Amino acid sequence: MFHYCPSCASPNIRFEREKLFRCPDCGFIYYHNIAAATGCVINTEKGIILLVRAKEPALGKLDLPGGFVNPGEGALDGLRRECLEEIGWDPGPKVSLFASFPNTYPYKDIIYRTCDLFFSLWAPDLTEGDLRLDPEEIGGVRFFKPGEICLEDLAFDSTRRAVTAFLEQK
């Protein structure tokens, strides 16, 4: 990510231990820490809600509602904000954390390493009519019964593991 030290412009800056940039010439250190991200399995009578991604990475693939946690937010705050932004619907505070997996998220030539937190919610009566999709981010919404989900159509490794874990816990 850095070819030169942002502090002294030395070309000797190194990326170490999968997480930090260190400049041997001036002592500059920058931790490229993992980012926290969330996803929500919203389970309804019609099945699990999956969203069609309208943006890279993984354009056209299926993903759970959710996204990166912002500075100053807790994971649940971030999840509820992302759901409001993406589908115009607030899952509320009564979601349950059921799994967490690491993920890699490539965006504009930088690979972000994340810790994804997955929540679930039983919302039997929720239908597409209750949702207001953000067309910039979301190309459509689909409801899937457990046997209908093709894991290869899911956007990310962590999403595949989360959906699998959710289905196995039932």
User: Is residue 151 close enough to count as binding Zn ion by CB under 5 A?
Assistant: no
For every residue of 90-114, DSSP letters joined together read: ---S--EEEEEEEEEEEETTEEEEE
Of 2, 21, 22, 28, which one interacts with Zn ion (CB under 5 A)? 28
Between β-strands 47-53 and 14-16, what pairing exists: parallel, antiparallel or unpaired?
A: unpaired
**Number of residues this chain uses to bind Zn ion (CB under 5 A):** 8
Q: Please give the structure tokens belonging to residue 116.
A: 């994804």
Query: Which uninterrupted H or E stretch holds 78?
Result: helix 75-87
160, 166 contact by CB (below 8 A) = no
Minimum distance from residue 11 beta carbon to Zn ion (Å)? 10
**Which stretch, 15-23, 51-59, 62-70, 127-135, contacts Zn ion (CB under 5 A)?**
15-23
Q: In this complex, which beta carbon is closest to Zn ion, that of residue 9 or of residue 59? A: 9
Asked if residue 8 binds Zn ion (CB under 5 A), the reply is yes
Give the nearer residue to Zn ion in terms of CB position, either 25 or 56: 25
Query: What are φ and ψ of residue 168, in 5° steps?
Result: -75, -25
Binding positions for Zn ion, rule: CB under 5 A: 5, 7-8, 10, 23, 25-26, 28
